Structure 1
Amino acid sequence: MPTVEFNTNELTELTGVSDLNFLRERIPMLGVDMECLDRDKATIEIFPNRPDMLSVEGFARALGNFLGINKSVKQYTVNETKGEIFVDASVRKSRPFISSAIVKNLNITDARLKSLMNIQEKLHITHGRNRKKVAIGIHNLDVIKFPVIYKGVRPKDYKFIPLNFEISMDLDEILRKHPKGIDYGKIMNNFDRLPLIVDADNDVISMPPIINADRTRVTEATKNLFVEVTGTNEYAVEKALAIIVCSLADMGGEIYNVHMHNVIEKVI
């Protein structure tokens, strides 16, 4: 079972419960194993069938429902945008499913950024089966021009600067030289075309399930996010997107939809 670590102050603020003894007594009733709860952190083992509880926002939501603090199931408003994604037939064999959303007007603190990266990786490892089933990309919306295209490309056809690198590399080089390419490249071993997400200017956003482009990096200065989830199982992809987006909404963000166009029959 995955083990998560939450900031105690965040947990108490989200639930409205500050009595730690009360929380120590009630949290195990959710069916989780609580290893530690002190003034600084809560360390909890989460069952694999509850990926929604891997984030502090999702856990607080579930705990609030259990304790009766939340009087009704929380409803999330999804606003309309003109954002579109076109899905090309060339990803059908390798990684056919993608879902995405926009979240605006966030206040991303250092703690929230770390929490977001943590839930992303926990979902990759558990729900995403080490990115084979599901992989999540979170990007700075303000550098992306819509419409977005999701397609399969030959490894030598595109070059971009991958996250945390300073040099441009083609996709084959990323698989051979970038740490994430070395770790996860085997997922794409049997395909001659690799999944790639590009924007209207043909600038790379992400090479799922391997690495994001450095240009879409998220920092504390980022206010608006583009979230994309790709994978081999449509239900798992949609569920992962919902978990991430609801957590971002609980941080104060506003959710916007992205219109999907599946699948273009002509290979781009």
Structure 2
Amino acid sequence: MPVIDLKRRRFARFLGTELSTAEMAERLPWLGLDIEDVTAESVKVEYNPNRADFCSYTGIARALQGVMNLKTGLIDYRVTPSNLLFKVDPTVKDVRPVILCAAVRNLIIDEDIVAEIM
């Protein structure tokens, strides 16, 4: 099963409130996450690979916000049309019959984000 290491201070930015690692270790199992390790600064959790949203701080924080009643309901994402053209080689049609893409602008990628997506 995959494991993600949630650093306490960084997780607080996504959650919107500060929790100690002991509080994180108490509440994260409410989401079905298994605690692997707890230190003073982070909590390692194992998650079900069927929950792709749990492979990131964002997904886990969003789920915990709902359970803790900090923030509930759907998020309203602002999407605007673009003049960008995305070309797909027709030879991949049988392998990938549907392909989606998005252009994301003004996103700052730091070391933490790179480590999270690797």
Q: TM-score when scaled to structure 1?
A: 0.40
Query: What is the match of residue 7 of structure 1?
Result: 7
Give the whole-Å Cα distance in 1 for the aligned partners of 2:105 and 2:69. Answer: 30
Query: What is the match of residue 255 of structure 1?
Result: none
**Conserved in 2, the CA contact under 8 Å of 1:9 and 1:39?**
no
SS at match of 1:6: strand
Structure 1 alignment gaps of length 5 or more: 119-268
Show CA shifts across 1:141-192 (max 9, x none).
xxxxxxxxxxxxxxxxxxxxxxxxxxxxxxxxxxxxxxxxxxxxxxxxxxxx
Deviates more, 1:3-12 or 1:84-93: 84-93
Q: What is the CA distance between 1:56 and its match in structure 2?
A: 0.8
Query: What is the match of residue 75 of structure 1?
Result: 76
4+ residue runs over 4 A deviation: none
- What amino acid is the match of 2:37? C
Q: Do residues 23 (structure 1) and 44 (structure 2) align?
A: no
Aligned positions, number: 117
**Percent of pairs identical after alignment?**
29
Give the whole-Å Cα distance in 2 for the aligned partners of 1:28 and 1:94. Answer: 37
Q: TM-score when scaled to structure 2?
A: 0.84
Greater RCO structure (CA 8 Å; 6+ sep): 1
Higher strand share: 1
Query: What is the match of residue 32 of structure 1?
Result: 33
Q: CA RMSD in A?
A: 1.8
Structure 2 alignment gaps of length 5 or more: none
SS at match of 1:57: helix
**Conserved in 1, the CA contact under 8 Å of 2:25 and 2:43?**
no
Show CA shifts across 1:7-44 (max 9, x none).
22111221133232322211111111011233322210
Compare CA radii of gyration and give the structure with the larger one.
1
